[in-house]
Structure 1
Amino acid sequence: LVGKPESPQCTDDIIAIVEYRDGTVLDVVRKVK
């Protein structure tokens, strides 16, 4: 539990899309390897 954590490696598979009420895409959630 010590040291610098590694950054997660994501794939191109989109799991979820975060949208605002008017349909604007705010963010996407990608699958982690």
Structure 2
Amino acid sequence: YFKVPEEYSGNVKHIKQKIQTEMTELEKNAKK
């Protein structure tokens, strides 16, 4: 077990949010 640096965990959160947004966009485009 190691402690994750604060800025790193923030980065991961940001990346996950970005992926989520991109997936939503892809779904919207696929429905057209």
Q: Which has the higher helix share?
A: 2
Scaled by the length of structure 2, the TM-score of the pair is 0.25
Q: Which has the higher strand share?
A: 1
Determine which structure has greater relative contact order: mean sequence separation of CA pairs < 8 Å that are 6+ residues apart, divided by chain length. 1
Scaled by the length of structure 1, the TM-score of the pair is 0.25
